[in-house]
């Protein structure tokens, strides 16, 4: 069996990798601790922070969306995205973690997708108004252009 010679490049590469791995492990441990012991008070501004659906400002928008449509969208679409996000984060941040690289990457992608859905739904519901208003001059100018 032929002995492999340790080159300067291989030694520096191994040391760099070990340092990066130690830094990443420390950062992940700190992240878990911060998520578990976050001292900031929960605010009702976002389900991403509280884990609970934000309340509806309007049950219906007369002439546009019925009570059934708004309620279904709030409960099923927004609620479903929040439930999925909570489930994913429970798996990602569990004490066991996810050791398989491909599974971790897929969970990260799904986590981003569901967090985006929750956030966009919150913006959607927060932007609801019972009557439409005229767009501002800047919007009219942009539409004309």
**How does pLDDT run across 1-50, given as a tens digit for each residue?**
566 677 888 777 777 877 766 676 666 565 555 545 544 444 457 888 88
Residue 118 and residue 85 in contact, taking contact as beta carbons nearer than 8 Å: yes
- Whole-angstrom Cα distance, residue 66 to residue 73? 11
> Is residue 51 predicted with pLDDT exceeding 70?
yes
In percent, the amount of the chain with pLDDT more than 70 equals 80
Place of tokens 């927060």: 126
CB 91 within 8 A of CB 85: no
Q: What is the pTM of this model?
A: 0.59
């Amino acid at each position: 069996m032929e002995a492999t010679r340790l080159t300067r490049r291989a030694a520096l590469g191994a040391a760099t990798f070990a340092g990066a791995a130690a830094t990443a492990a420390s950062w992940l441990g700190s992240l878990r601790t911060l998520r578990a012991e976050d001292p900031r008070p929960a605010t009702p501004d976002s389900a991403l922070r509280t884990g609970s659906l934000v309340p509806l400002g309007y049950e219906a928008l007369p002439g546009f969306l019925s009570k059934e449509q708004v309620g279904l969208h709030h409960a099923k679409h927004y609620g479903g995205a929040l439930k999925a996000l909570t489930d994913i984060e429970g798996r990602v941040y569990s004490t066991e973690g996810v050791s398989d690289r491909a599974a971790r990457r897929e969970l990260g992608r799904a986590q981003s997708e569901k967090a985006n859905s929750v956030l966009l739904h919150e913006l959607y519901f927060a932007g609801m108004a019972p009557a439409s208003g005229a767009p501002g001059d800047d919007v009219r100018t942009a539409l004309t252009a």
